Structure 1
């Protein structure tokens, strides 16, 4: 979306009336933004408020605890003359601040007055104006309510059931932060990011023909242990360890067997084309995607998009056989958790394999991004259309 607007602010400091060697600050700000999508649909966000420190308490050395307050109207979201959301009243929050390192740790917040913007995704607030009705086609399928071995979210496009030969199917593997117990409440964690979020907030085009099934991995305690503590690229270490242990039940990431069993379930339950099955995942789900490709190749899927995952163990296992499935790996350039080499090395190596065309081994490294990139890839904001690319492949 295109964003235009203005903002002004006034910042001042004052002595702490409670004493101490720290000064307090306050900032009065005002802003107005207009957001416009490609279809010319628009909404505005504006705010006028005062933020001030109420108290600073020394905790020793360079560390301080700060209690601050925000008053006024932090944000008003409008479509024309219609108010979609309005945050007003008081917000009091507490955090620690290390004045030497700049590190901050949030400790808590208290509200007085309505603050829908603090609890609701902005995209969901404005969906009636600039979004689609995709959320109406999105249904949780908790563990135990189907024959699947995992709970999942189901999206059936309006065209579902009307496509000769069945709709194309996209299976989405979740990241570690979205793991849960597969219950109705636990599945809501899938709505925090990635494709399930875009569908939930009305950001998914209704003319996109894909059936989307977003799975939730259950991590059984006690986990894989402390082996990877205090090492560079912690996530890569954990993923390598899970691979070396053969994906035990305590695995933090979705396993290849889980994906194989779920795809078998999905192609039997839904009216989908078994030759147009696609797989994607973010972080832990991307690792699970790589591992699935190494073990099962093109037995079930035609193309895959792993994002910010560790693919080097898969390459070490299967090498050029990974080329049986078209792969587009995506990674943030500055990822501190999963080494970008986990995408770069297997795709670079795969590109050198005989018979692997450039379109079947693609790589996108997003400059300036850390352990993310999935929202950019799934939304297409970086210019990558992974959906048209996937739909260009069928299983031989």
Structure 2
């Protein structure tokens, strides 16, 4: 019997389903079944080989996971809470799979949906929702992660065209993407561009030898005088508000997703503790082990309730940026603590890929960093509380 055979919803102490609609439960259960059937049996091998399972993209599209919270243009049009529940279940499998859905839907597709023209939306979004066109989101640069205002990538006008040169780093999906959303400084401030990845002067390099997010694709984009027509410009995105609105979509999904990694770590440790019998009794019967399990379960319930509340606010059109920062900061911080604590219950066996907690903990090091570090979200909340900006 494997640890997965023993997994149930032991972390749910508050009857969370009572707070969900039948449609939300059905969507969650369908994604959970997909994760159980397609991801759990294979994720250890993908992680070890640093392999992203591109063969699952059509299946994720059929489940309506790509751009699922967007409406029209072939997009599923699901609620924010449904999207959050899907993110949680995907990340219970692995952060890399949730990240794929986030980059495709919350970043690349959302940029076109929020800031593109009708022509751009009609051209790109249906194929992206179907998974036949993959997108990436080029904002972060080697020397400007938390400070995108200092980006060096520049787009200059040349007649009716734009010519872009620059370097982006930590760009998810770059090697499999057909289109990149590239943010560049211009004489008019920061603007966004839709860049086909087969454009002359566009180069992608895979980032290898990662210790985290191994079952995902992270790349560098190098643009050398990439010439684009005027129709490549996202007309409604001016200044940093453009990429930040997309980042907030992704950050919202992270607040849900990391609770999936936390829950899976907890369930793995719980299952192990019931079958491991040091000193002639189950490990789960020791007081110190029960304290660890209880502390983990309490934080999972609190974090999932927070994510659900943020989802209800988002569906009501009331969600504010500082609230997203609260969810991303608190839930990611707690999730990585839970994954690390779960590993301690597994003892030495916990450092192998037979068990999930250390894999989740390694992944969460990346999740804790991207879409805003702990420090950045702390300062967002500090500014909201005090009314004083401490960024500089």
In the superposition, the TM-score normalised over structure 2's length comes to: 0.27
Q: Which has the higher helix share?
A: 2
Q: Which has the higher strand share?
A: 1
Larger Rg: 1
In the superposition, the TM-score normalised over structure 1's length comes to: 0.27
